[in-house]
Amino acid sequence: MQKILIVEDERDIADLIGFNLQRAGYEVLKAHDGIAGTEIALRDRPDLIVLDIMLPGRDGYAVFRELRRDPRSVNIPVIMLTARAQTEDRIQGLETGADDYLTKPFSPKELLLRIQAVLKRSEVAPGAVEFTHGPFRFDKNALKFYLDNEPVDLTSTEFKLLLYLCERSGKPQDRNDLLRTVWGYSDEVHSRTLDTHMKRLRQKLGIHGTLVETIRNVGYCVGSVTA
């Protein structure tokens, strides 16, 4: 059974989300402030975290940064929630590098669809277990990524994006197709998310970041490499 941690101080919202997730077959953990949320995430290693931004004690951004710094939680997917819909907040939310983002009010069904899409990204891919492209090596079973044989921590979203581009190397991929494939839908806000993820991905790839090209008015492309 997959475990989902809900970090949300508004108890009626946490209970409503929890109830719906339990009914959908997930084990649910709850925390009502950022400090407890961080502790439970590190101790229980959930499969996914639903993290509210406005929290007492330590806000969602601070919790997220801490989880991404700690090797025990660096790979746990995070969906962020906020009550505020102002553009600045949305953009700050996206730039943290969260795997997905949802603005309140939302329906439990919508959250469930997002959770399922994010968890699907972390699933083991069928077929070949390993895929190599130039300096990149993907272990699809363990979701581990190696750069020049050195392990690099990619989130499951970054892993899936890069693998998708590498498996289609030399062919520019349309941004809406990337969004639909990796996030499960495409809209204007998530278009920003895609760019944020690509920026972080390039940073993690260091000198090989240039292999990921931006194709103006289209999307992204990973160049072909000769064996």
Residue nearest Ca ion by beta-carbon distance = 54
Give the β-pairing of 48-52 and 3-7: parallel
Binding region for Ca ion (CB under 5 A) out of 9-17, 94-102, 104-112, 171-179? 9-17
Binding region for Ca ion (CB under 5 A) out of 31-39, 47-55, 129-137, 186-194? 47-55
Candidates 3, 9, 135, 137; binder of Ca ion (CB under 5 A) is 9
Give CA 59 to chain center in angstroms: 19
Least separation in angstroms between residue 12's CB and Ca ion is: 11
Q: How far is CA 218 from CA 55, 108, 171, 173, 225, in A?
A: 38, 33, 11, 7, 21
Binding region for Ca ion (CB under 5 A) out of 48-56, 124-132, 155-163, 171-179? 48-56
Candidates 54, 117, 152, 225; binder of Ca ion (CB under 5 A) is 54
Query: Does 52 sit near Ca ion (CB under 5 A)?
Result: yes
Binding region for Ca ion (CB under 5 A) out of 1-9, 19-27, 146-154, 176-184? 1-9
Torsion sign (Cα): 32, 36, 37, 43: negative
In 3D space, the residue among 141, 160, 9, 5 whose CA is nearest the CA of residue 67 turns out to be 5
Q: How far apart are CA 73 and CA 34, in angstroms?
A: 15
Residues in contact with 195: Cβ distance below 8 Å, sequence separation at least 6, in sequence order: none
Least separation in angstroms between residue 103's CB and Ca ion is: 13
Least separation in angstroms between residue 121's CB and Ca ion is: 26
Give CA 57 to chain center in angstroms: 24
Q: Pick the closer one to Ca ion by CB: 52 or 100.
A: 52
Q: Pick the closer one to Ca ion by CB: 5 or 222.
A: 5
Give the β-pairing of 3-7 and 144-147: unpaired
Note the residue count of the chain: 227
Q: By the criterion CB under 5 A, which residues form the site for Ca ion?
A: 9, 52, 54
